[in-house]
Structure 1
Amino acid sequence: MALAWRIRPIEARDDANVAAIIRTVMPEFGATGEGFAINDPEVDWMQRAYSVPRSAYFVVELEDKIVGGGGVAPLEGGDADTCELRKMYFLKQVRGQGIGSEMLRRCLDAARSFGFRYCYLETLSGMNDAIRLYERHGFKRIGAPRGQTGHGGCNTFYLREL
Structure 2
Amino acid sequence: MDKSFIIRTATNRDRDKITDLVKRTLPEFDYVYAPDTYESDLANIEANYTQKGGAFEVIETFDSDIIGTVALQPADADNNTCWLKRMYIDSNYRGLKLGDLLLKNVLQKAVKLHFKVVCLHTARSMSAAINLFKKYGFVIKEEGDDITMSKKLL
* TM exceeding 0.5: yes
The letter for the 2-side match of 1:107 is V
Distance 1:139 1:79, change over 3 A: farther
TM alignment of 1:1-162, pairs within 5 A: 4-32=4-32, 39-62=38-61, 63-75=63-75, 80-143=79-142, 155-162=146-153
* Structure 2 counterpart of 1:148: none
The TM-score, its normalising length taken from structure 1, stands at 0.82
The letter for the 1-side match of 2:118 is C
Structure 2 unaligned blocks of 5 or more: none
Residues 16, 44 of structure 1: 8 Å contact kept: no
Question: Using the alignment, how far apart are the partners of 2:77 and 2:134 within structure 1?
Answer: 22
Structure 1 unaligned blocks of 5 or more: 146-153
The alpha carbon displacement at 1:117 in A equals: 0.7
The letter for the 1-side match of 2:148 is F
The alpha carbon displacement at 1:105 in A equals: 1.2
The TM-score, its normalising length taken from structure 2, stands at 0.86
Range moving further from structure 2, 50-59 or 134-143? 50-59
Over the aligned positions, Cα root-mean-square deviation in angstroms equals 2.5
The letter for the 2-side match of 1:27 is P
Question: Using the alignment, how far apart are the partners of 2:37 and 2:27 within structure 1?
Answer: 9
Write the deviation string for residues 34-61 of structure 1: whole angstroms up to 9, x where unpaired.
Answer: 7x99732112332332221321111111
The alpha carbon displacement at 1:24 in A equals: 1.4
Identity across matched positions, percent: 24
